[in-house]
Structure 1
Amino acid sequence: MKSLPMKPSALCLALSLALLPLGVQAAGPSGKIDCIAPANPGGGWDFTCRSVGQVLSEIGAIDGSVQTTNMPGASGGVAFSHVVTKRAGQNDVIVSASTSTTTRLAQHQFPGLNADMVNWAGTVGADYGVIAVSKDSPYQNLESLLDAMEKNPASVSFAGGSASGGWDHLKVLMMARADHIQPLNKVKYLPFDGGGEALTQVVGGHIDAFSGDASEILGFVESGDLRVLAVLADGRLPGALSEFPTAKEQGVDVEGINWRGFYLPPKLSDEDVAWWEETLHKVYESPEWKEVMSKNGLIPFDRSGKAFNAYVHQQIADIETISREVGLIQ
C-alpha cells in the first residue's frame, strides 16, 4: 500500500520536533513547590513563605501550589545544610531568608557552609526591627527600659527568634552600644526557634522584652497584648505602626533593617535561576503583594540576581565587622 504524502504543515512540525535536543524542558518548576521556612510557625521566615506562596498562586505565576515546610534548627543552619546537601538541582524548592541568614553566615555559624553554595534569587521587601514589651510591663517607653539597663545591663531580659549572636540578638546589642551601656556581654538575651515562640514568652510575662521585626508583631499589637517601645528605622513606618516612635527620635541612634527574600538550591540551570528571579520580581511588583506589604509593615526593598548576590556578600562583610566590635566573634 502506497503511503500518502505528508502535508507541508505536518512535515514542518515533524522536522521542528526532530531538531529539538533531547531532554529540553521549559525553565521553572511544574507542580507543587516546597517553600522551606527555617523556623517554627509564627515568625518572619514562616510569614514570608506563606504570604509569597499565596501570591504566587493568586497571580497565576505557578501551575501548582506552594507547600510551606517548617525546618527549625541552628537559626537557619539546618535548612541551609539540607538544601545544599539534599536538594541540589531541584528547581521546585525555595528557601525563605533574611538578614538573620546573612548574620549567621557572617559569624561562621554554619560549619563548612558559605554564601556561595546557594543561589540568591531576590527580595520581596524588608522589615525594620522593633523592641516591644507586654501590655503589663513596667517599661512604658524606651527611656525607662534603657535606664534600667544602664544601672544593670542584665536587669532586662530579651527574647528573639534567632540564636545567641543572631540578628535579633545583634539588634539589642547595637541599641545598647548606641546608649553606651557596658559591658555588652552582660546584656541578657534568650533565643527561640522563631519569632512566634519568642513573642509568646514576652506576652505571657516570662521575659521582659521582644527583639524582632515589625511584620511579626502586628497581631499582638492589634489585640493590645504588646506595646512597641521603639522601631529601629530612620523614620516612622507607614500604616499600622505609624504611631510608634523610632529609637532615633528617642535619642538612640540605631537602625535595624531586615530584608526578606529567598535563596535556591545549588546546581540549578541558569534558566531555572533566571525564572525564579523573574517570578519573584513579578510577586514584588504585583498589587496583591503591595497589599500584603502595607498590612504587615513591610517596606520596599528590591534586589535580585547579581545585584542581590553582591548585596548579600557586602552585608555579610559588614555584619562580621559589627560582630567583632561587640565581641560576638573573635
Structure 2
Amino acid sequence: GTLAVREDSPYQNLDDVVQALKKDPKSIVVGGGGSIGGQGWMKIALLARAAGVNPRDLRYAAFEGGSEHYMALMGKHVDLVTGSASEIRAQHGNKIRTLAIFSEERLGGDLASIPTAREQGYEIQWPLIRGYFLGPDVKEEDVAWWHAQFDKLNASKDFQTYLADRDVLPDYVTGPALEQLVKAQVQEYRKLGEEFGLVE
C-alpha cells in the first residue's frame, strides 16, 4: 500500500498529513479505489487512527479503477491518494510524490527511495496479496496439475525477474498454508471493520 500527493503538495511526509488530520480531518480530500471499508479506504483509516481521528470523519472519494484517483489527484480534485506500489510505478513521469510505502521494509528497484510508514514512526503495514483460487468442486488431480504449473513458474528465473522488475516482494504460498493466510487476513479485516464501525 502507498500514500501519494502531487509534487506541489504542502505535505512532505506522513507526519504532515497526521498533523493536518488532527487539526481538521475534513481538511484533506482522500481518493482511493473502492468504497468505504475497501482496501483504499482502510489505508487512510489506519493513518487516521494513528492520528487519534475517527476514520468515519474523513473526506473520502471512492473511485472505480486503479488510475482514476491519480487523474483526480493531478486535476486537483483530491489532495491525497491511497494506492499500491504497482500503481505508483505506472505513474512515473507524472508530478506525483509518494509519501510512504506500507510495507515491513523498503521495496527495491525504482521505489527504493520511498520510506516506509514504520520509518516515519507509524506502525502501519498493508501488504497487497495477489493469488489464484479454484472452486470447491475441482477434482484433486486438476488441483495437483495447477500446483505443479505454479511451482514450475515460481522456480523460473524469468518469473523472478518479472517480480523484481515490478517491485513485487515474492511470498509464494500454496495449499493449506494459503488457506490459513487468507483466513487470518479475513479475520484481521473483520476486526478492523468492527473497530471502525463498519461491521456489527
Task: Please confirm whether the aligned pair reaches a TM-score higher than 0.5, indicating the same fold.
Answer: yes
Higher RCO, Cα 8 Å, sep 6+: 1
1:243 aligns with 2:113: yes
Task: Give the Cα separation in 1 of the matches to 2:165 and 2:103.
Answer: 18
Select the residue among 199, 205, 211 that pairs with 2:76. 205
Task: Give the Cα separation in 2 of the matches to 1:171 and 1:246.
Answer: 13
Select the residue among 167, 183, 195 that pairs with 2:39. 167
1:141 aligns with 2:141: no
Task: Give the Cα separation in 2 of the matches to 1:324 and 1:312.
Answer: 18
Contact 2:44 2:82 in 1 (8 A): yes
Select the residue among 16, 25, 48 that pairs with 1:153. 25
Alignment of 1:173-192 (within 5 A): 173-180=45-52, 182-192=53-63
Aligned to 1:275: 145
TM-score scaled by structure 2?
0.92
What amino acid does structure 2 have at the position aligned with 1:292? Y
1:311 aligns with 2:177: no
Contact 1:132 1:227 in 2 (8 A): yes
Task: Give the Cα separation in 2 of the matches to 1:286 and 1:188.
Answer: 45
Q: Report the 3-state secondary structure (helix = DSSP H, G, I; strand = E; otherwise coil) of the residue aligned with 1:237.
A: coil
Q: Report the 3-state secondary structure (helix = DSSP H, G, I; strand = E; otherwise coil) of the residue aligned with 1:320.
A: helix
Aligned-pair distance for 1:224?
A: 4.1
Q: Report the 3-state secondary structure (helix = DSSP H, G, I; strand = E; otherwise coil) of the residue aligned with 1:223.
A: coil
Task: Give the Cα separation in 1 of the matches to 2:69 and 2:94.
Answer: 17
Aligned length: 200
CA distances 1:291-313 after superposition (whole Å, capped 9, x unpaired): 22212211021111121112111
Aligned to 1:214: 85
CA distances 1:184-229 after superposition (whole Å, capped 9, x unpaired): 2101222222212222222332111111110111121x31421000
What amino acid does structure 2 have at the position aligned with 1:184? P
Q: Report the 3-state secondary structure (helix = DSSP H, G, I; strand = E; otherwise coil) of the residue aligned with 1:254.
A: coil
Contact 1:134 1:204 in 2 (8 A): no
What amino acid does structure 2 have at the position aligned with 1:235? E
1:271–1:326 Cα change, 3 Å:
same
What amino acid does structure 2 have at the position aligned with 1:171? K
TM-score scaled by structure 1?
0.57
Task: Give the Cα separation in 2 of the matches to 1:230 and 1:246.
Answer: 5
Contact 2:4 2:82 in 1 (8 A): yes
Contact 1:179 1:252 in 2 (8 A): no
Task: Give the Cα separation in 2 of the matches to 1:277 and 1:189.
Answer: 40
Where does structure 1 lack aligned partners over 5 or more consecutive residues? 1-128
